[in-house]
A and B are shown apart, each in its own frame.
Chain A
Amino acid sequence: MSEGTVAKKQKLSVPFDYDKYLRPKKLPHIWCPGCGHGIVLKALLRAIEASGLNKDDICMVSGIGCSSRTPGYVDFNTMHSLHGRAFAFATGIKFAKPNMKVIVITGDGDALAIGGNHFIHTCRRNIDLTVLVYTNAIYGMTGGQYSPTTPLGDIATTSRYGNIEPPFDACKMAEAAGASFVARGTAYHTLELEKTILEAIKHKGTSVVDIIDACPTYYGRMNKYKSATHMMEVIEKDGTVSVKQADKLPPEKLEGKLLRGVLYKTDRPEYCEQYATQVMGKATGK
């Protein structure tokens, strides 16, 4: 069943008035033709509408990179911070305003390379942040250098003979570091992504969603993909398997494929709550 048919059956909110959440004067956005970031942003806005959150109760924080331009286009409280340090800024905001829904928008290079340490410790603390990692396997903004998720053997401007560094699995790392909600989605499966993001927003604790999307300009052209559509079909559609289907498939069919959907979910004490009860409670003698 195609996603379009699913949209009809579920009576989802398309057509959707995105202008309600956007800063229309800032459009068109800077992302290249065919870039998946716009598709992910739309899924995020639909998920926010479904969550029923007020615009003023949301703070969107980002680092540096193509993905991190997102807060510039949305009409929430927004912050564009330093490369890799979005987690540190977001932690501060959440700490100062525990009732604020803080969403961190970051890329694979931003979160896993330069901000790797911040990412790990955000997960370890289990502070209530929704982290969306846009994984396009390249540093797009700076000219197509390989990133920590570039697959082995792939071409980038800094790996002309093929990448020799094994890629990270952001989900496995987040889970190992202690995040209480870990999921993966793709820009291709946009309705599924919308639901996954909604679940992440509702979860209390660090929720990490690794989102596979395509960079046709650098990654695509250097690795002989014909178009943005071709990338979406090969990397996002054929390269991933839903966790629900994965149990039924033989192991050889899962080889080299990434799992999609909610991969890990648990209840663990949240950092701000622990701080309020255990530290401030004792310090003030209440």
Chain B
Amino acid sequence: MGEAALKLPNIRINEKLCKGCSICVDFCPTNVLEIKGTVVAVKDLAACTRCQLCDLRCPDFAISVID
């Protein structure tokens, strides 16, 4: 049922730049992200709606959602 049409987004995280402030985790409307150790990690990629809020509000140039 249309599963083939579902293309998962590509969330690119630069772990060298991430400071683990958790702004992206807190603002994500579908809880895609989590803090693992000191940096952010993807928890549930399928839930991502590509809203780009994490990219827009990340202060550290560390995360972006590439289609």
Contacts and interface: CB of A to CB of B under 8 A. Distances in A.
A76 B16 CA distance: 24
Contact of B51 (A8, A29, A38): A8
Given A29-B60, A38-B59, A229 B29 contact: no
Contacts of B19: 28, 32-34
A34 B51 contact: no
B59 A5 contact: no
A42 B65 CA distance: 15
B17 to A, nearest CB: 5
Interface residues of B, number: 26
A253 to B, nearest CB: 25
B61 A38 contact: yes
Contacts of B51: 2, 4-5, 7-8
B11 to A, nearest CB: 10
Contacts of A38: 58-61
Nearest to A27: B17
B52 interface: yes
Contact of B55 (A8, A15, A29, A32): A15
Contacts of A33: 19-21, 60
Contacts of A39: 56-59
Contacts of A232: 23, 57
A187 B23 CA distance: 12
Given A15-B65, A33-B19, A229 B27 contact: yes
Interface string A166-192: 000000000000000000000110110
Chain A interface residue bracket vs B: 20 to 34
Contacts of A42: 56, 58-59, 61
Contact of B26 (A3, A27, A191, A227): A227
Contacts of A113: none
Interface string A1-35: 01111011000001110100010000111011111
B25 to A, nearest CB: 8
Interface string A23-59: 0000111011111111100100000000000000000
Interface in A226-249: 227-229, 232
B23 A7 contact: no
Contact of A7 (B17, B56, B60): B56
Contact of B29 (A2, A7, A14, A191): A2
Interface of B: 16-17, 19-23, 26-27, 29, 49-53, 55-61, 64-67
14 contacts: A4-B29, A4-B56, A8-B51, A14-B55, A28-B16, A34-B21, A34-B59, A35-B21, A38-B59, A38-B60, A191-B56, A229-B27, A232-B23, A232-B57
